[in-house]
Amino acid sequence: MKKKSTKPSELFMGRQKSNLLFALLFLFLSFNNFQSNAQCVASFSSINDSINPATVYFFDGSTTSVGTITTYQWQFGDGSVSTVASPTHTYAGSGVYVATLVIGTDLGCFDSISISVNIPPFIDIIDFSSDSTGTIFCTAPAYTDFILQGNTGGFGVNDTVDVYIAFGDGSDTTFALSIQQRYFFSFLQHIYANAGTYNPMVIVNLGAVADTFYATPITVNANCGPLSGTVYLDNNQDCIFNSGDLTLANITVSLSTSGNTVLWTQTDSNGVYSFNVPTGITYDINVHINNWYGGSYTVVCPTGGTISVSSIPSSGNDFYLSCPSGYDLTGSVNVNGAVPGRIGTVCVFAYDRFCSTPSGQIKVILDPLLTAMPDSSGTYSISGDTIIWNYNSTSPYWSYCAQVTTSTSATIGDTVCVTMIIEPISGDANPADNIVTTCTAVRTSYDPNDKAGEPYGQGANNAILPGTEITYTVRFQNTGTAEAYDIYILDTISANLDMQTFEVLASSHAMVPSILQDNVLRFTFSNIMLPDSNTNEPMSHGYVSYRISPRSGVADGAVINNTAGIYFDYNPAVITNTTLHTIDYTLGLKNINKIGSVRLMPNPANEKVFVNLTDKGNCTLSLINMLGEVVYTSTNNKDQVMINTSSIPAGIYLVRAENEKTVYQSKLIVSH
């Protein structure tokens, strides 16, 4: 749907003149690959030269499980081609180009991949789409919200871009946007007065540099009706809602026509989902069980897991789910507002992935730089450095917050870590995930509206292994002069992440998540009534936390950026910082053995810990905190090493012993 152009005439003509033979080869290989069971996977990364960014180094990362890769066909997006494995190419002009690699093996397997390459100065529209879970609108007049966001490079920090939007119904608009952190973002509403199909488009330019994006066509229908149902936890698996059963909130439900997903939603607090859809179409409804709790749910009814509806309006399209007996407790913990001398919050969200939920306690061990504030409402107790909440089995999930103060001795660069322990641990199906540690940086001056991604990764590029789950937290604060009635967050997910793995973990207030189009998340805090910071600073904060994994087969060196826009009522978006992760396959080259090769005594440790190594010989021993920082390292050939932990902050650490062939790892808890 997108046409790229930074020098419009130059780049568009370049794409029109693309090699016809290459296009035919691409189609032929794509068809062949359909028959080859995907034994080969095309993959590559690219890096711009630091001195001349128009020169780009391409690095092949393709793999094959059978045979040998024998052919490489590159098209760089400007009409140039190459047949070497890892070529270098210099572009004649600035812009956003789409580079494509097609590989072939000696056994007839073929695969292809395309990635955008940016040559500054450039404008790259990431998304221009309707703020809706699809492109079905019912009915005229249709109030349609549009999201516009994109990246820039090679411009000044105070520059602005000009925006032209044609809505496809004969009306248009123009306006200017500032470049915030090389990023632009806008939200606007348009009313389609009549039923019909419309083709919106946008052009963003700064002088001669421009980009064009054609949105997915929008159809406004004349005849629509409701389609609804409820999702239940059916404990006795009789497909009837009766005593002992529960309704399930925040379960993702999709609506498809002819095999194509057209709408997404999530169940509300009563387990109810609903769509407003055109009549005269057959719809397939499915639930997607990848949410806060119920990771082990299965669909009992309907048989096959799909409900088909051909007549609208339609209600009672209910799903009945079951899950194993026993309990598997886990969750997340967040620290907000770690500023010396200021009041912040520690919030926990815990849940049971199974169905026999026990009663117990949620404990949070605070960093020495944090002190719990007394609770006048009596929802939690304090024992030394630990906050304790009691929970019962009437619900499979629990969310609590407590106020904490950060020590005035804390300085910028310090990190505060908190450890959540969900009890009972004994009898839990997976006791390892009952203990969760989160660390955050202390800030002497900070933007209360920010985004963080954990794990932080290793090195300057925040390197992570492919398949590493990333937990994102978006924090916000009402710094205005009156309370905020409604807040929502728009978050465009990187193409290198798999939307099917998206899971909401926690939020500070009641919130409805939704998936807009293919890769845009919306978190809606309706009627939040968030006080302003001048009236009630401690209660003026909020957050949402979710996790997501890289897509399968992501290229080595692939960059995962994430930026969110936060909307307070009808005010312009507040743009967060941009998080960075980089896929690095080399982090996993050595054999990693987590079992039996490193023994820690005692564990948890207070003043010291003894590390016993079963493999003799020279090795490097490291102690790594949850930020990926090495807090201790030594090289030795002893069977036992003592580490002084008295000055190490409380929390969970990774003990890593590495020799030439193997990496041994074990988890250590430090508690003072």
On the question of a cis peptide bond just before residue 455, with omega within 30 degrees of 0, the verdict is: yes
Question: Would you state the pLDDT for residue 7?
Answer: 33
Determine the Cα–Cα distance for residues 544 and 514; give it in Å rounded to an integer: 13
Q: Which CATH number fits domain 447-587: 3.40.50.2300, 2.40.110.10, 1.10.3720.10, 2.60.40.740?
A: 2.60.40.740
Q: What is the 3-state secondary structure (H, E, C) of 506-563?
A: EECCCCEEEEECCCEEEEEECCCCECCCCCCCHHHEEEEEEEEEECCCCCCCCEEEEC
Give the phi and the psi of residue 31 in degrees, each rounded to 5.
-65, -45
In angstroms, the Cα distances linking 325 to 331, 350, 352, 353 are: 19, 18, 11, 10
Neighbours of 48 (CB within 10 A): 17
- Encoding tokens for residue 66? 């059978």
Give the H or E element holding residue 287.
strand 283-288
Q: For the chain, give every domain's residue range.
A: 2-119, 122-221, 224-322, 328-446, 447-587, 590-670
- Encoding tokens for residue 576? 């967060």
Determine the Cα–Cα distance for residues 367 and 671; give it in Å rounded to an integer: 10
In angstroms, the Cα distances linking 564 to 24, 473, 567, 595 are: 40, 10, 10, 39
- Encoding tokens for residue 262? 């057209």
Cβ distance 546 to 579 under 8 Å? no
What CATH number does the domain located at 224-322 have? 2.60.40.10
Cβ distance 621 to 641 under 8 Å? yes
On the question of a cis peptide bond just before residue 531, with omega within 30 degrees of 0, the verdict is: no
CATH topology of domain 590-670: Immunoglobulin-like (2.60.40)
Question: Would you state the pLDDT for residue 467?
Answer: 85
- Encoding tokens for residue 82? 């190459």
**What is the DSSP-derived secondary structure letter of residue 369?**
T
What CATH number does the domain located at 2-119 have? 2.60.40.10
Q: Which CATH class is domain 122-221?
A: mainly beta
Strand partners, 322: 298
Ramachandran region, residue 250 (left: φ > 0; alpha: ψ -120 to 50; beta: rest):
left
CATH topology of domain 328-446: Immunoglobulin-like (2.60.40)
Cβ distance 439 to 627 under 8 Å? yes
- Residue 301, CB half-sphere, CA atoms under 13 Å: how many? 17
Cβ distance 144 to 191 under 8 Å? yes
Cβ distance 243 to 235 under 8 Å? no
- Encoding tokens for residue 335? 């620290």
Strand partners, 307: 285
Determine the Cα–Cα distance for residues 301 and 81; give it in Å rounded to an integer: 53
* pTM of this structure: 0.53
Ramachandran region, residue 529 (left: φ > 0; alpha: ψ -120 to 50; beta: rest):
left
- Encoding tokens for residue 504? 């909401």
Task: Identify the CA nearest to 339 among candidates 419, 414, 401.
Answer: 414
- Report which residue type is found at 331: G
Q: What is the 3-state secondary structure (H, E, C) of 187-251?
A: EEEEEECCCEEECCEEEEEECCEEEEEECCCEEEECCEEEEEEEEEECCCCCCCCCCCCEECCCC
Strand partners, 206: 209
105 SS3 class: strand
224-322 shares the fold of 2-119: yes
Give the phi and the psi of residue 589 in degrees, each rounded to 5.
-70, -35
Question: Would you state the pLDDT for residue 6?
Answer: 35
- Encoding tokens for residue 338? 């770690």
Low-confidence ranges of the chain (pLDDT < 70): 1-38, 131-136, 180-181, 290-295, 412-413, 444-447, 459-460, 517-518, 588-598, 614-617, 626-629, 659-665
Neighbours of 439 (CB within 10 A): 24
Q: What angle do CA 530, 336, 450 make, to 5 degrees?
A: 80
Spell out the residues 6+ positions from residue 408 whose beta carbon is closer than 8 angstroms to its own. Answer: 340, 341
